[in-house]
Chains A and B, each alone.
Chain A
Amino acid sequence: MKNNGHKSTSPTAGLPKCPTGIQGLDEITGGGLPRGRPTLVCGGTGCGKTLLAAEFLVRGAVQFGEPGVFMAFEETEAELKANVASLGFDLAGLIRRKKIAIDYVHIERSEVQESGEYDLEGLFVRLNHAIDSIGARRVVLDTLEALFASLPNEAILRAELRRLFRWLKDKGVTAVITAERGRDQLTRHGLEEYVSDCVILLDHRVNEQIATRHLRVVKYRGALHGTNEFPFLIGDEGISVLPITSLGLNHKISVERIATGIPRLDAMLGGRGFFRGSSILLTGTPGTGKTIVAANFAQAACRRGERTLFFSFEESPNQIIRNMHSIGLRLEPLVKRGLLRFHAARPSLYGLEMHLATMFKEIAAFQPHVVIVDPITSLMDAGTASECRAMVTRLVDYLKAGQVTTLFTSLTQAGHALQQSEASMSSLMDSWLLLQDFEGNGERNRVLYVLKARGMAHSNQIREFLISDRGIDLVDAYIGPSGVLTGAARVAQTAREKAEALASQQEAARRQRELKRKRAALEQQITGLRSEHEASAEELRQIDEQVGRQTRLLTTERTELGRLRQADISVAASTRGNSKPKSKR
């Protein structure tokens, strides 16, 4: 952001650029203002034109070694010094060291009488003298249009202004000319007609009682630039423009995982917790324990020796410490050891941009590994939803670029569609935990889901979230045919299940016994039948034997009979089969 060389860092070389050193502005303009050319800064009253110009000059002198001339048409040198001192710039010191020269141009209209032709050579000479006396590379004319009020002949003035801008270009100084916003045009007196290289428009708007300053690069000849309106703010370190898109999506990525401080939650997140540098959204209705999860996460981080910055927009630090004490989380020693820092502010204290800038400043000063914002939804009150989203985007980008793990808690109003209201924000987040109340059987119970966790296998199961004086625990919620049961209902169900299990065990034993008995009886029966079967087989054998004996006996008797009837044995034998007809005959 801050380069110390004179050369521009813009990838689109060609047009040399002059870095302003103003946070964010160099990113939008791709390296700064056009070097050696005039830039017009226009805007309404109180939108920071003079300050932007002054900062351009001071930063040029301090950071880039380029002395500058401030030609003031509206404020005296003393006023200017006082105004800039409020941003921490030592203008008087810079003037003493010949880094900056101020020339206050003042024309008392009532004293002036026009009598003939004139030009503005006086102005040129003064400017030239000031530039040469300190070897200035930068020039600010604030506000040139004051001349229109003090000099009567506009035709001469316009001709001279045209000459002035030409002269500034020839002189090779990078100039910033401020001008009041006009009704139908950019400036009241049409200065944009003369300054054609770069025009920056500042704007101060009040939207829903919240005032926000915006900056837009209307025109930048010969260079690519961000064309959007970017919010900017005037902090105690000067102007900072907050470009949404400046960071892009090319930050480094870590594969390291960090524990959440709740072992069961780690288990739900593939067993190892969140990725370092990821952004985590924790949504929940009031009283579901968002701050507790956040505090747990903070404590876990501190125990690993990582600095944690806790932005609280609802509770004072002491209140959080006290409340966490009640569930066995001791944050105070961590604060004392300097590992945990709280930053508490009411969301309505100032606008979103200011909040964001304050957060950036705190983060830059503390260099945390983990940042907690509790809750991010409070900031919604300080701006519109789209502004808030833009702000969160910038915050997330900023933190991700620094590999800072961030936990945002987000309050969902009871009765709202839980997931809908956060949809706009959730897409920015890598992980999303949902805390919810389950109401039933005359009690409320907290449950936790992992709605999403990019890049890791995570549990899709609901867990009951228990808060006791020993901290947080997650238990499996009862999921059965009658739905999800939690709390007392879960305990009752478990007890009921136990009883049922016992009963069914007993029943099984009983049935087993009965079956055994039945089997024994059957076996007995089988034995009886088998002996019966054997008995009948014996009988059958005896009958067979008896029949055989009788046949043999009969044959013998018939042979004897034949012999007695003197029949040939052979005949008798052959006609034995026809014995019956014979006997009939």
Chain B
Amino acid sequence: MKTNKTSRPSSVAALRRVDATKTFEKSLATRPTGKYVLRLFVAGATARSRQAVLRVRQLCEAELKDNCKLEVIDIYQQPNLARDNQIVATPTLIKEFPRPVRRFIGNLLNTTGLFVELDLIAKGKIAF
């Protein structure tokens, strides 16, 4: 019995390894599913903040077809969150999901990088 028990974890680990490899291959092959989770940190109602908020809303509606969850946070009102989310520059847009996490700093007027990262190029939507 004892030998069985001790041998089991190694077999489990082996299984897990196989699992991990499979997941990795799968994730590479298929596009992530599920809602985009976006969080936008702005500092007050500045022109830059407004531009950023506007841009993200536009993006969510037009490109992601409401397949996204957007949260806009004013760090003046919630300074704790600035610290918890390591916000240095404002505005900052954090793409929490799908992985990997990405941060876009600026008022989002320059969208090329944003589109690449949001995986929208495949749809041929570069000309925003």
| Cα distance A105–B86 in the bound complex, in angstroms | 6
Q: Note all chain A residues with C-beta closer than 8 A to B88.
A: 105, 107, 120, 122-123, 126, 147, 150-151
Residue A481 CB within 8 A of the other chain: no
Q: Note all chain B residues with C-beta closer than 8 A to A103.
A: 83
Residue B45 CB within 8 A of the other chain: no
Q: Which of B52, B89, B107 has the most CB of A within 10 A?
A: B89
Specify which of B90, B107, B112, B114 is in contact with A122 (CB 8 Å cutoff). B90
Interface locus among A40-48, A110-118, A212-220, A527-535? A110-118
Q: Note all chain A residues with C-beta closer than 8 A to B93.
A: 115
Residue B43 CB within 8 A of the other chain: yes
| Cα distance A114–B109 in the bound complex, in angstroms | 10
Q: Note all chain B residues with C-beta closer than 8 A to A116.
A: 48, 51-52, 105-110
| Cα distance A115–B101 in the bound complex, in angstroms | 16
How far, in Å, is B91 (CB) from chain A's closest CB?
A: 7
Whether A115 pairs with B82 at a CB distance below 8 angstroms is: no
Chain A residue with the shortest CB-CB distance to B80: A129
* Contact A129 to B79, CB < 8 A, known contacts A113-B105, A115-B104: yes
Specify which of A107, A108, A117, A125 is in contact with B79 (CB 8 Å cutoff). A125
How far, in Å, is B48 (CB) from chain A's closest CB?
A: 6
* Contact A111 to B101, CB < 8 A, known contacts A126-B82, A129-B80: yes
| Cα distance A125–B41 in the bound complex, in angstroms | 12
Whether B108 pairs with A125 at a CB distance below 8 angstroms is: no
How far, in Å, is B101 (CB) from chain A's closest CB?
A: 6
Q: Note all chain B residues with C-beta closer than 8 A to A105.
A: 86, 88
Chain B residue with the shortest CB-CB distance to A160: B89
Chain B residue with the shortest CB-CB distance to A106: B86
Residue B21 CB within 8 A of the other chain: no
Residue A119 CB within 8 A of the other chain: yes
How far, in Å, is B14 (CB) from chain A's closest CB?
A: 32
* Contact A117 to B48, CB < 8 A, known contacts A122-B88, A126-B83, A129-B82: yes
Kindly supply a per-residue 1/0 record for chain A positions 124-146, scoring 1 wherever the CB is within 8 Å of any chain B CB and 0 otherwise.
11101110000000000000000
Q: Note all chain B residues with C-beta closer than 8 A to A151.
A: 88-89, 105
Chain A residue with the shortest CB-CB distance to B44: A121
Q: Note all chain A residues with C-beta closer than 8 A to B48.
A: 116-119
Q: Note all chain B residues with C-beta closer than 8 A to A117.
A: 48, 106-107, 109
Whether A118 pairs with B90 at a CB distance below 8 angstroms is: yes
Whether A121 pairs with B43 at a CB distance below 8 angstroms is: yes
How far, in Å, is A314 (CB) from chain B's closest CB?
A: 57
Count of chain A residues near B, Cβ 8 A = 27
Q: Note all chain A residues with C-beta closer than 8 A to B67.
A: none
Whether A107 pairs with B86 at a CB distance below 8 angstroms is: yes
| Cα distance A173–B114 in the bound complex, in angstroms | 39
Whether B90 pairs with A119 at a CB distance below 8 angstroms is: yes
Q: Which of B41, B43, B79 has the most CB of A within 10 A?
A: B79
How far, in Å, is B77 (CB) from chain A's closest CB?
A: 10
Q: Note all chain A residues with C-beta closer than 8 A to B87.
A: 122, 125-126
Specify which of A112, A113, A118, A150 is in contact with B114 (CB 8 Å cutoff). A113
| Cα distance A527–B102 in the bound complex, in angstroms | 147
Whether A122 pairs with B104 at a CB distance below 8 angstroms is: no
Whether B106 pairs with A115 at a CB distance below 8 angstroms is: yes
Chain A residue with the shortest CB-CB distance to B43: A121
Whether B113 pairs with A114 at a CB distance below 8 angstroms is: yes
Whether A112 pairs with B105 at a CB distance below 8 angstroms is: yes
Chain A residue with the shortest CB-CB distance to B115: A115
**Shortest Cβ-Cβ A-B pairs, 7 listed:** A116-B106, A129-B79, A121-B43, A122-B87, A116-B107, A116-B109, A121-B90
| Cα distance A113–B102 in the bound complex, in angstroms | 7
Q: Note all chain A residues with C-beta closer than 8 A to B86.
A: 105-107
Whether B109 pairs with A115 at a CB distance below 8 angstroms is: yes
16 A-B pairs with CB atoms under 8 Å apart are: A113-B113, A115-B93, A115-B104, A115-B107, A116-B48, A116-B105, A117-B106, A118-B91, A122-B41, A122-B87, A123-B88, A125-B76, A125-B87, A126-B82, A128-B79, A129-B79
Kindly supply a per-residue 1/0 record for chain A positions 358-373, scoring 1 wherever the CB is within 8 Å of any chain B CB and 0 otherwise.
0000000000000000
How far, in Å, is A113 (CB) from chain B's closest CB?
A: 5
| Cα distance A70–B106 in the bound complex, in angstroms | 27
Whether A125 pairs with B75 at a CB distance below 8 angstroms is: yes
| Cα distance A103–B114 in the bound complex, in angstroms | 29
Residue B124 CB within 8 A of the other chain: no
- Further pairs besides A108-B103, A111-B101, A113-B103: 9, Cβ < 8 Å: A111-B100, A113-B113, A114-B104, A115-B107, A116-B106, A116-B110, A120-B89, A122-B90, A123-B88
Q: Note all chain B residues with C-beta closer than 8 A to A130.
A: 83
Whether A118 pairs with B79 at a CB distance below 8 angstroms is: no
Give chain B interface residues in 41-66, CB to chain A under 8 Å: 41, 43-44, 48, 51-52
Give chain A interface residues in 60-79, CB to chain B under 8 Å: none
| Cα distance A125–B77 in the bound complex, in angstroms | 10
Whether A118 pairs with B105 at a CB distance below 8 angstroms is: yes
Q: Note all chain A residues with C-beta closer than 8 A to B113.
A: 113-115
How far, in Å, is A420 (CB) from chain B's closest CB?
A: 63
Whether B103 pairs with A125 at a CB distance below 8 angstroms is: no
* Contact A115 to B90, CB < 8 A, known contacts A122-B41, A122-B82, A125-B82: no
| Cα distance A122–B106 in the bound complex, in angstroms | 12
How far, in Å, is A530 (CB) from chain B's closest CB?
A: 137
Q: Note all chain A residues with C-beta closer than 8 A to B89.
A: 118-123, 151
How far, in Å, is B90 (CB) from chain A's closest CB?
A: 4
| Cα distance A128–B103 in the bound complex, in angstroms | 23
Chain A residue with the shortest CB-CB distance to B87: A122
Q: Note all chain A residues with C-beta closer than 8 A to B110.
A: 114-116
| Cα distance A130–B75 in the bound complex, in angstroms | 13
| Cα distance A225–B117 in the bound complex, in angstroms | 54
Q: Note all chain B residues with C-beta closer than 8 A to A129.
A: 79-80, 82-83
Chain A residue with the shortest CB-CB distance to B94: A111
How far, in Å, is A109 (CB) from chain B's closest CB?
A: 10
Q: Which of A119, A123, A151 has the most CB of B within 10 A?
A: A119
| Cα distance A123–B102 in the bound complex, in angstroms | 19
Whether B114 pairs with A115 at a CB distance below 8 angstroms is: yes
Q: Note all chain A residues with C-beta closer than 8 A to B43.
A: 119, 121-122, 124-125
How far, in Å, is A96 (CB) from chain B's closest CB?
A: 18
Give chain A interface residues in 179-201, CB to chain B under 8 Å: none
Specify which of B75, B79, B100, B108 is in contact with A115 (CB 8 Å cutoff). B108
Residue B111 CB within 8 A of the other chain: yes
| Cα distance A581–B29 in the bound complex, in angstroms | 197
| Cα distance A130–B82 in the bound complex, in angstroms | 11
